């Protein structure tokens, strides 16, 4: 196994642990803020790992910029996925006619590049299950990535989500 593969596996493990710890922290008002930060950091690690795994990050992307973009994507999608999933599920034309008025300027000015940022958003939206956001970000990334690359990114996001769920399972003890 190469150094890059070890790095990716470590990134996914860290992402899963942070995400699960973040979810646990969200279960109580006293730890909710710390839980949100940990979950966002886990999501950022997952998004970065996904981008590295499919080779989407360009050599000109700085590591700080990638982390900044991944955190921004996780934060923006935490907001957008809830809002647009609500609009989609309700299906009322009156809600569709209203402007979102959500601040999303960060999407237009990524620290790395637009394709990477959109891929981060796609991976987060896939985990969060927002159909409208998935469709929108998939359309954007298809301008520079292949179906296989997008499919791999979503498979990796699904695997990270499954690991997070598995780590939450209660431990069975012998009676």
- Determine the Cα–Cα distance for residues 88 and 130; give it in Å rounded to an integer: 9
Q: Quick check: is 121 catalytic?
A: no
CA–CA separation, 137 and 156 (whole Å): 16
Between CA 54 and CA 112 the distance in angstroms is 16
Assigned token pair, 122 = 């796609």
Report which of 16, 20, 15 is spatially closest to residue 35, judged by C-alpha positions.
20
**Which of 48, 133, 156, 163 is labelled catalytic?**
133
Any catalytic annotation for residue 17? Answer: no
Active-site position among 130, 141, 154, 163: 130
* Residues recognised as catalytic: 130, 133
């Amino acid at each position: 196994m190469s150094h890059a593969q070890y790095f990716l596996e470590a990134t996914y493990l860290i992402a899963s642990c942070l995400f699960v710890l973040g979810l646990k922290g969200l279960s109580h008002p006293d730890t909710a803020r710390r839980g949100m930060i940990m979950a966002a950091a886990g999501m950022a690690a997952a998004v970065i790992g996904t981008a590295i795994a499919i080779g989407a990050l360009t050599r000109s992307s700085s590591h700080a910029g990638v982390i900044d973009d991944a955190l921004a994507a996780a934060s923006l999608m935490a907001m957008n996925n809830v809002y647009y999933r609500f609009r989609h599920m309700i299906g009322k034309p009156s809600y569709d006619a209203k402007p979102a008025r959500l601040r999303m300027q960060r999407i237009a000015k990524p620290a790395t590049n637009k394709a990477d940022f959109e891929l981060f958003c796609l991976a987060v939206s896939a985990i969060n299950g927002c159909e409208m956001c998935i469709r929108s970000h998939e359309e954007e990334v298809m301008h520079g990535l292949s179906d296989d690359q997008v499919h791999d990114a979503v498979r990796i996001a699904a695997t990270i989500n499954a690991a997070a769920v598995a780590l939450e399972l209660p431990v069975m003890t012998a009676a």
